[in-house]
Amino acid sequence: TALELTRELTRDHPGRVPGSPDADGAARWFEEKLRLFGIPVEEDVWQADVPGLGEVALRNLTAIVRGTLEDRIVVVANRDNREGSSGANDNASGTAALVELARAYATVGTGGAQPRRPLHTIVFLSTDAGAYGDLGAARFARSEDADRAVATLVLTGLAGRATPHVELAGLEHRSPPAALVRTLIARLGDERAPPARPGVLEQLVALGIPLALGEQGPLLGAGIPAIRLGTAP
């Protein structure tokens, strides 16, 4: 189903460059999909100077499933893509996976029993300008929900044929908690071969000279436990 959603998003809104009509259409598409599940979506709209685009309106979309605890588990995927590409893998695939994960907590249209209330509150976050400096993730990093995050998973480029890749690098001298990394790798290992991850030397260099490719970068930089999952660059 996630694959079909990936195809639908890239077919109907191929040019999701921030501030474009397709970007607005993709935001409505995400909201409509979650509305079918009975999950309300909140908008955070702001103006930003986007490199190469100038001043445009950006939009983060947040769907919250309330748990027993106020602590947040956040799942993130950016909707936008670079001009000249439909962004099927990067990152319509991550957005489609975000929708499918939210479906597990649908309150309408499932035809089955209602889902149990999760232990942690779960935040499904669809960000803008991920392909233009991770501006949506940086915006979220300054929010109240981010302050309560105990784990954040960034989904990017899930439809590639390469080996799954876990990205740990941030924009500051920080890395995600070891328990979070081990948990993700163990869960992926249940499905297929464990994913690739940076070696010790690469991790030490990344901590000494912070450089991040992905939305986990600004999140880690703000002290939020975050890790990115995708296919190897």
- pLDDT digits 0-9 by tens, 182-232: 888 888 877 766 666 667 777 676 667 655 678 999 999 899 999 999 885
Confidence (pLDDT) at 154: 96
Give dist(CA 86, CA 81) in Å, integer: 7
Cβ neighbours of residue 162 under 8 Å, at least 6 residues apart?
Answer: 231, 232
DSSP state of 1: -
Q: Write down the pLDDT at residue 172.
A: 73
Q: What is the pTM of this model?
A: 0.89
Alpha-carbon span 198 to 44, nearest angstrom: 34
Kindly list the strands in the beta sheet with 69-78, ordered across the sheet, starting from the edge strand earlier in the chain: 42-50, 54-65, 120-127, 69-78, 149-155, 226-231, 164-167
Nearest CA-CA partner of 107 in 99, 98, 117? 117
Show Cβ contacts of residue 12 under 8 Å, excluding neighbours closer than 6 positions: 25, 29
Low-confidence ranges of the chain (pLDDT < 50): none
The predicted pLDDT at position 189 comes to: 77
